[in-house]
Structure 1
């Protein structure tokens, strides 16, 4: 590499610097915000039948967050940051609070939310990290 090409590479990194890191941080916070709304709407009922529509929303939103993070970074570890934040928030919501109340209960909707939030996003992350070669 010549000195001119090194300067061009440094200039490109500096142009993307602060604005892109802010966008990445916003996407990670969006992962936590989406989890809060999904946990809030998880115990939705139609009549006497539970309808966990937020589990389907979790599948779509987490894939969209990883796809959005793909605009900011290219490394798979950095791509997974919104999903890691979502999982840490899920673990916090599944533990008992100071008063003994639990946000996620012991019924079948909580594992469904976990599976729908992790499996499609994990599969998409795997396909981004290891693209198929002909």
Structure 2
């Protein structure tokens, strides 16, 4: 009787840990969505209202990245999978921060770029930290 219960628990854990074919497609779409949203955030980062800079893209980066991590969490419970959209977003950010073939650069060296980096990474990392620690403490 005990072995049957343990076998069922192991099968359920394996099914939750690895996404199926639809889960893999959703993961790929979420990673591509991280690239697309970064491109839009970089385009709208130098937004001005009158003569005042309003970097609303930085705030939206944090919200969108948290939603991307939540989307991955609904497909897979693996921590490495939850970091995939953040890794793609960070890679895209670093590509945008380097110079292009003509010497042009998409992200200027100012406080708005730092705000975009901070708001794009810190809220999803805090979300991951809180979700993973509440899951660990709820098991004990």
Q: Aligning the two structures, in what range does the TM-score lie when normalised by the shorter sequence?
A: 0.7 to 0.9
- State how many pairs are aligned: 128
1:69 to 69, 72, 77: 72
CA distance in 2, matches of 1:124, 1:77: 14
1:109 alignment counterpart: 112
**Given the two structures, how large is their TM-score scaled by the length of structure 2?**
0.84
1:51 to 54, 69, 72: 54
Where does the alignment leave 5 or more consecutive residues of structure 1 unmatched? Answer: none
2:102 to 99, 108, 119: 99
Matches within 5 A, 1:1-134: 1=3, 9=11, 13=15, 17-131=20-134, 133=137
Alignment deviations for residues 43-101 of structure 1 (CA, whole Å, 9 cap, x no partner):
00011111000001001000000001001111111111001100000000000000000
CA distance in 1, matches of 2:33, 2:23: 15
Note the C-alpha offset of 1:112.
0.3
Q: Secondary structure at the match of 2:134?
A: coil
What RMSD in Å do the two structures reach over aligned CA positions?
A: 2.0
CA distance in 2, matches of 1:77, 1:125: 11
Q: Tell me which stretches of 4 or more aligned residues in structure 1 moved more than 2 Å.
A: none
